[in-house]
Amino acid sequence: MTEDSAPCALVVAAHPDDIDYGSGATVAFLVASGWRVSYCLVTDGDAGGFDPDVPRAEIPRIRRAEQTEAARVLGVEDLHWLGHPDGRVEVSTRLRRDLSRVIRTVRPKRVICQCPQRNWGSIHGSHPDHLAAGEATLCAVYPDARNPFAHPELAAEGLAPHSVEEVWVVGGPDPDVVLDLTEHFELKATALRAHVSQETDRNGRLEPMLREWMGRTAAAGGLPEGRYAEAFRRVDTR
């Protein structure tokens, strides 16, 4: 399979580290299976970090570098940064256009995105930026990216319309795709450890937390004890 003929997946997320938490093992699996994977980060994570001694102006550069390294661990080199403000992501025409531009550029078969529905069982998973990024991505998939008359500036840039075949939604209700990713667990953990500015592995808590989360997902999906999984809701968007 050549690079041109390989299926492509685009993963869209609000912040650096969101992809690694929500679908890092899936990304590793797709790359190992011959897929081309691209990332689109809506923000630079400029509202993140924990150390007050780090100048705030440095945070975007730091978080971009961390996400770039985390992507490299999983085999991804194509990253698109939209630069919207962290903590203030809105489902705006501008964001829909920016996401449509990336979709028309990358031309993915599959888009993986965050869920636009609030999860009452996880306030952390329902960050407003996540909800907005998920909704804007779905709007970009349909109807924007495929509509030749939407965002005419994109056509002026030479970007032809593109129809995504399916969307995999992270963290939504009623998942119907459960992947056994036990063999990719360590790569996911290693990618997350690249996000040093977020104290991701403070006190060695990362690996036990991931094992609990992914083990619970595997059990809910009917996989044997000791297996680790990620789950998605698949939406046919053809």
| The pLDDT value given to residue 201 | 86
Q: How many domains does the chain have?
A: 1
Among the listed ranges 18-27, 44-53, 91-100, which one has the minimum average pLDDT value? 44-53
Look at residue 2 and tell me if it is in a domain. no
Phi, psi of 233 (to 5 degrees): -100, 120
Structure tokens at 60: 């975007």
| The pLDDT value given to residue 3 | 60
Look at residue 203 and tell me if it is in a domain. yes
d(C-alpha 220, C-alpha 181), whole Å: 14
Look at residue 118 and tell me if it is in a domain. yes
Look at residue 138 and tell me if it is in a domain. yes
d(C-alpha 237, C-alpha 54), whole Å: 43
The string of pLDDT tens digits covering residues 163-216 is: 999 999 999 999 999 999 999 999 999 999 999 999 888 889 999 999 999 999
Look at residue 98 and tell me if it is in a domain. yes
- Asked if 13 and 22 count as a contact pair (C-beta separation under 8 A), the reply is yes
Look at residue 58 and tell me if it is in a domain. yes
The string of pLDDT tens digits covering residues 52-88 is: 889 999 999 999 999 999 999 999 999 999 999 999 9
Query: For the whole model, what pTM was predicted?
Result: 0.96
Q: What is the CATH number of the domain that holds 100?
A: 3.40.50.10320
Q: Which H helix or E strand runs over 110?
A: strand 110-114
Look at residue 75 and tell me if it is in a domain. yes
Report residue 4's pLDDT band, with 50, 70 and 90 as the boundaries. Answer: low
Look at residue 3 and tell me if it is in a domain. no
Residue 116, domain extent: 8-236
